[in-house]
Structure 1
């Protein structure tokens, strides 16, 4: 199963329910370039995420940290971290993705000691899992086994999944990470989410740099530095890209023409929308609409 588009709230938190019928776990086999945007856009969720790349190479970004994950390698992404993924050099990248509720990896009695500190740590945004490291190999193998267990759904598979996840979590936290809790880092991530939150609430309106900076309680120059570090683009370029993302589903609606869509997502000129859409998507909104109708 692949989710080709997922909804997020105005705070970029993913709204897709991450669970099977019984387990607070979701398992997807994802081909990055089949997402509606052509990549996995920036989002976050309360669940941990474990990734195993089975084909090609993926370029992930977790908060402001880029990481390239090659075939056979994996990734742990911590709860609450902003992240996105792109297919590096159009390799047809495919990965197995497990989203897991933190409450599920150990019993309730052990959660405070063995899970909560790792969620709150500011130096544990992600862990790159490479097969040259013994403990990481075990986690990568468990990701494959869990995908198979959920796909086959044999009797008692839920218990097997639970055991695999507990093993994965134990392996991860035993690898010697010295946890840090830096208030500055926590504030920085919170401010970035606040600015993104404001954009996603107001993208259809006129937006100035001052508005975005004010949402993060920053100066204009510091606001630009935040976006450069996290997203490698300016705040207003991000606004334009987000508007184009929001236009994709609208363009698939027969009762909206291109001009309607342009104004609904915040562009004040159809020609400017067409120009920015073409540069972003490598085709015009008219062509996109025709292909999707």
Structure 2
């Protein structure tokens, strides 16, 4: 089952509980265009994420890097890393998304030596799983196998899943990554999350650049550099985009008109809201509301 509108908290942390029966994992097929935003918005979670593209191609952004993943390829996204995804060239991208609690990948006795150092490494936000590499092909095959096991529920499938997870992790770490731990990089990630946290708490209020910079304990210019480097947009542009994102759910509520929604998400002018909504969604808020309320929201 695809999660079309997953909830995130004020820190952008995804609130979905990634569990399958008794196992701390979740595995489902995702069609990017079916998300309420038309893309997978920026978020993070404690779980490792493994991706296998079944159809089309997607552009993933992990922290400040962007990478295109083609059909048949995959991706490992490390715990705690900000990431988002868009469908490249309207390809109808569908991918298997496997989220796994780090503590479940290996036994408790092996976790400290073989899992925890990879979570803490600052030079390993993601790994491209390219089919040209045997170790990567092994991981992609195991993702597919886990997806099949969950769908088919054969006897003892939970144990079969743990076998596949061990296979995945072994193939990942035998690749010989030289792990690095840079305190400055960890601080940058923390400050970025703190600024995003502040925006998500106060988006409905009047927001100034000084407010955002103060939340990250940065100067105005340094704050702008953070956003430009990681999100490829200015802080205030991000605020506008986030307000539009928050308006999508409100517009689907029959009792909310466009003016109500505009003020609820922080715009002080309905016309200004309509202008930015059209720029972002290629339609007016009213057209979007009618589209969704006429039964096209599946």
Residue matched to 1:147: 147
Computed over aligned residues only, the root mean square deviation of the Cα atoms, in angstroms, reads 0.6
Residue matched to 1:10: 10
Residue matched to 1:169: 169
Distance, in Å, in 2 between the alignment partners of 1:148 and 1:155 is: 13
Residue matched to 1:198: 198
Shift of 1:22: 1.2
1:123-162 equivalent positions in 2, closer than 5 A: 123-162=123-162
> Aligned to 2:178, what secondary structure does the other structure show?
coil
Residue matched to 2:117: 117
Shift of 1:108: 0.6
Q: How many equivalent pairs are there?
A: 293
Distance, in Å, in 2 between the alignment partners of 1:150 and 1:289 is: 36
> Aligned to 2:149, what secondary structure does the other structure show?
helix
Residue matched to 1:77: 77
CA deviations 1:227-256 (Å, max 9, x no partner) are 111111110010000000000000011111
1:2-81 equivalent positions in 2, closer than 5 A: 2-81=2-81
Shift of 1:95: 0.5
CA deviations 1:234-284 (Å, max 9, x no partner) are 100100000000000000111111100000000000000001001100111
Distance, in Å, in 2 between the alignment partners of 1:210 and 1:105 is: 42
Distance, in Å, in 2 between the alignment partners of 1:27 and 1:94 is: 13
* Mapped pair 1:107 → 2:146: no
Distance, in Å, in 1 between the alignment partners of 2:229 and 2:71 is: 27
Distance, in Å, in 1 between the alignment partners of 2:43 and 2:190 is: 14
* TM-score, with structure 1 as normaliser: 0.99
Gaps of 5+ in 2: 294-298
Shift of 1:65: 1.1
Gaps of 5+ in 1: none
Distance, in Å, in 2 between the alignment partners of 1:61 and 1:134 is: 25
